[in-house]
Every structure is written in C-alpha cells, then in structure tokens.
Amino acid sequence: MLISPGFAMLFLLRSSTAEECPEKCACQSFFQRVEINCSFRGLREIPFIPEAATELYLHDNLLTAVAPGTFGKLPNLQTISLHNNHWNCDCHIAYLHQWLQHPSAAVHPNVTCFTPAAIRMKPVRELRGKEYTGCRSLNLYPCRNMYPGSIIICLLCLLLLILMTCTFTTLKSNAYIFTPSNEFQISEHFKMRQRKSEKRNLLTELEFMNEWPGDDLENPLFCESMEILPQILITLNTNFNIKIKEH
C-alpha cells in the first residue's frame, strides 16, 4: 500500500504533538493546525506549551497571572482564549497587560480582572497603571530592577565597613599608653630601699633593747631608749603594719 507524503507528514505531526501535549490538556492536530485545549481544568498556572501550537484555549481556569515571556515562545500561535479566569490585576499582571496591547494572536475580548474588588470585571487591556496595587514599575521584566539596587546596597555596606575600619585604626594609633619613666622607677626603687633600711634599724634597736642587761636599767642611755619605745611601736604599726605586744 502506498502512503502519500501528506498523510505521512500528518502522522508525524500527530505523534509529535501527542508527545508534547501538556498534562491535563487535550491536543489535536489537523494538517498545519495544532489545537491545545486546557480549558475547564482548574489550572492555577499555565503549563509548558509546545511551539507548534496554533490554537490555545485557557479559559475557565483559576489562572491569576502569566509568567513573562510565555506567549513570546509561541511563534505559530493564531488564536488564544483567556477569559473567565481569576486574573489578579497587581504587579504580576503587567506582562499580560502589555502583551494585550499588541497581541500576536486573536484574543477573546473578555479578559477581565477578578481582583482587587475595586476594579473587578475591568478589561485587563484598559488598565492604565494606577489601578495596580503595590507596584513600583510596569516593566516587562520587573526582576531586572533588582540587580542595580542590590549592587548599590552592597557598595554602601562596603563603604561603611571601610569608614569604620579607618576610624578604628585612627583611634587606636592616637590612644595614650602610660609608661612609667626611668626616673620614676629609680625614685620608687630608692624609696623602697629607704623603707627597708628604716625597718632594719628599728628591728635592730628593738633587739638591742631586749638584750640589754637587767642591772643596767639605771643607765641613762637605756632610760632614753625606753622613752622613745612607744614612738617606735607606733611607727612600726603605722608604716610597716607590725604589731608588738608589751610585756
């Protein structure tokens, strides 16, 4: 049996489309027409769509946004339906809004906002930007704005770290450290030697008095030494913390 080239191409196209058909979707191909029907599937995000798709039906789902670049990857797309979804008209609707201004395929006209409540049922195409809540920009790829901001923050942190390091280094170099001079050390050394000498002299005098013979108590020198004994005891107690009990 001979098979015409047209039927062979149709068979190959059907096999290729069946393999690439998104999960939960129904796919059909007729000659140069590839239909992908993902409607009424409860989808919360758009699945991967093969480039060969010419008709895409996404209506009556739970879709809230379209990822940037989704429809740009479908060069053969001719018809698309997006109505009756839960489109959230905030920053994430920016790509769909801009694509609807100049669509590359025929679009069902009833693509309306589901939230916020203030603009519910308003066509996404008619949004002017002021309706967006919490948006800083309407760029096609808003993530591009992250990189300059992150670089600026990193540079500011680096500059702050450098300033703190320089300040700490300057304060450390200007700090005053007290170092006793040689003259001060020599003076203290002589004072300590003088105190030790006075202490030895007093102890020697006390030992001398203790060894004084008993029969010389009437000696004038002994009497004079006994008179200054209280002063010696007070000096020992005050200056050297030495206490001697009298018998």
pLDDT higher for 173 or 69? 69
β-pairing, 26-30 vs 33-37, is: antiparallel
Collapsing DSSP to helix, strand or coil, 35 comes out as strand
For residue 198, count CB atoms less than 10 angstroms from its CB and return exposed for 0-12, middle for 13-18, buried for 19 or more. Answer: middle
- Per-chain mean pLDDT for the chain: 76
Beta strands 79-81; 33-37: pairing state: unpaired
Most confidently predicted of 8-12, 69-73, 221-225: 69-73
The owner of tokens 């679009």 is 107
Task: Give the Cα separation of 245 and 234 in Å (integer).
Answer: 12
* Structure letter (DSSP) for residue 51: T
Q: Which tens digits make up the pLDDT trace of 140-152? A: 444 444 456 678 8
pTM for the full predicted model: 0.49
E strand or H helix at 225, and its extent? Answer: helix 220-227
Nearest to 115 by CA among 95, 96, 132: 132
Separation of alpha carbons 187 and 151, rounded Å: 63
- Answer yes or no: are the C-beta atoms of 36 and 53 closer than 8 Å: yes
pLDDT at 40 over 60: yes
Instruction: Give yes or no for a contact between 120 and 145, defined as CB atoms under 8 angstroms apart.
Output: no
What is the SS3 assignment for 66? coil
Distances (CA, A) of 175 to 75, 164, 172, 180, 185: 72, 17, 5, 16, 23
Query: Which of 24-33, 78-87, 100-109, 199-208 is predicted most confidently?
Result: 78-87
> Which has the higher per-residue pLDDT, 80 or 194?
80
Percent of the chain whose pLDDT exceeds 90:
32
Alpha carbons within 13 A on the beta-carbon side of 233: 10
- DSSP-derived 3-state class of residue 47: coil
Task: List, in sequence order, every beta strand (DSSP E) within 100-169.
Answer: 106-107
- The answer to whether 86 touches 114, Cβ cutoff 8 Å, is yes
Q: Does the pLDDT value for residue 6 go beyond 50?
A: no
Burial class (CB in 10 A: 0-12, 13-18, 19+), 28: middle
